[in-house]
Amino acid sequence: MTFAQQQAKLSSTDGKAPVYELHDSHFHLTNYVQEGIDMKKCLENMGSRVGRVALFGIPLQQLWSYGNTGNVAPTYYLGSDDPLYYYSFTDAYIAMAYKSLSKADQARFDPMITGFNPADMYAADHIRRVLKTFPGVFTGIGEFTIHKEFVSPKVAGPLATLTNPALDRILDFCAETGLLAILHNDVNMPFPKENQENWDLQQLADLLKRHPKTTVIWAHCGLGRVVRPVFDHIGMIERGLSNPALSHLYVDLSWTETAKYITESPDALARTVAMINKFPDRFLMGTDEVAPPDQQSYLKIIDMYAPLLAKLTPEVRRQLLKGNYERLFDQARIRVREWERVHAQEPNKEPVRTPVSGIER
C-alpha cells in the first residue's frame, strides 16, 4: 500500500468529518489557453484527501497566430513561437467559479489574484479593483512570475524584473491589505556558466527585505524543468530562513519537478528532511497541478514525496501538509476581509500613487 493509500484509508471515517491528508498551497484551475476543469471536478479530485486549496488560473494566455501554426491551436507555452500576453479576465473567472459554490464548499478554497502584469505600475490598482469588485473572495495574489525559464522571454511587453518599482507597489499593497503573495522566480538562469554569479538570488533577497510586512511564498524553491538546484541550494535556503530580515519568507514544495530533485539522491533527501525539521513552520505542500482530469493525476506528487514524508517527525509532517497552510491563509483571510470592510465604499477612480518603499527617486 502506498503512502497516499495509507493516508486515504485514515481519512475514511464512519460518518465523522474527514481527516484530510493535506491542504494544497498551489493549484491551477486553468491552463495557458484559459481552459481547465470546473469546480465540481475540482472538488471530486480533492475528495476526502485534500481539505483546502489555494485556487488560481494562469495569468498568461498563449497567442494563437494562424500564420504560425495554422489550424493547430497551441495549448502550452512551448507549443508555439508566438508570444504570451496577460489575461486579466482570469480573476473574474476564478471569482465566479468560487461564488458558484455553496458556503461549505467555498470554505475549502482560497482564491488568488493573478491577472496582472508585474511590470505595470498600474498592477496594484488592478489588484485593488479586483478586491473591491469581488469582496469576500480572494486571499492573496499569485502564483505570479518574474523570472521563469522559457516563459519570461515570451511575454509581450516590458520584461518583469525583481527591481521594477511596479513590483514594489504590488507588495506594498499586499502589506496594506494582508494579501499573501505566491511568487515564482527561478533561482538561476537556465544553463548557467560554471561559477556564474547568481544575480537573481541577491535581487530576490533585496526585494524581500524591502517588504518585511508582506508574507511571500517562494514557489518550488526556485526550481524548474531546466533550472536545477544551484550549488549549496539547501544551505542557501537555510541561510535565508535563518535571517531575521527574511522572517516573512516561506517556501512551497509544489511541482513534481521539484519532487524529482529532492528525492533523486539519498543526500538530497536527507538534507531536505533536516532542513524542514529545522524550520518546520516555513514550508508548505502544494501540487502545482494544472486542471488534472482525476484524483490520481492530481495527487501523484504525494507518492513522489513519500520518502520525505516518512522521515519527518509526525508534528513536522502535519505542519508541512496542513498546519502552516491554515496559519498563513487563515490570517490572510481575516486581514483581507477587514480591509474590504473598511474600504468597501471608496471609489475606484483614483489609482494607488503611494511612494514605492525602498526605491530611491
According to the model, what pLDDT value does residue 240 have? 93
According to the model, what pLDDT value does residue 197 have? 58
Residue 131 pLDDT > 50, yes or no? Answer: yes
Residue 47 pLDDT > 60, yes or no? Answer: yes
According to the model, what pLDDT value does residue 196 have? 54
pLDDT category at 350 given cuts 50, 70, 90 is low
Domains plus CATH for the chain? 20-343 (3.20.20.140)
Comparing 251 with 3, which gets the higher pLDDT? Answer: 251
Give residue 280's region: left, alpha or beta (phi > 0; psi -120 to 50): alpha
pLDDT category at 340 given cuts 50, 70, 90 is very high
Mean pLDDT estimate for the chain:
90
According to the model, what pLDDT value does residue 148 have? 86
Residue 51 parent element (H or E) = strand 50-56
Residue 172 pLDDT > 60, yes or no? Answer: yes
Q: C-alpha cell of 347?
A: 471609489
| pLDDT above 90 coverage of the chain, percent | 74
CB neighbour class for 245 (10 Å; exposed up to 12, middle 13-18, buried from 19): exposed
Alpha-carbon torsion angle 171, 177, 182, 187, nearest 10? 20
Comparing 13 with 259, which gets the higher pLDDT? Answer: 259
Residue 3 pLDDT > 60, yes or no? Answer: no
**Average pLDDT estimate for 283-309:** 97
**What whole-number distance in Å separates Cα of residue 11 and Cα of residue 301?**
18
According to the model, what pLDDT value does residue 349 have? 54
The pTM (predicted TM-score) of the whole model is: 0.90
> How distant, in Å, are the alpha carbons of 146, 176, 269, 289, 308 from that of 265?
30, 43, 6, 24, 11
- Given a contact cutoff of 8 angstroms between Cβ atoms, the answer to whether 280 and 315 are in contact is yes
Comparing 18 with 353, which gets the higher pLDDT? Answer: 18
According to the model, what pLDDT value does residue 4 have? 44
According to DSSP, the β-strands at 180-184 and 216-218 are parallel
Helix axes 165-177, 324-343, angle to 10 degrees: 90
According to the model, what pLDDT value does residue 356 have? 58
**Average pLDDT estimate for 7-22:** 63
Residue 284 pLDDT > 50, yes or no? Answer: yes
According to the model, what pLDDT value does residue 358 have? 53
190-211: pLDDT as tens digits = 655 566 556 578 899 999 999 9
According to the model, what pLDDT value does residue 152 have? 85
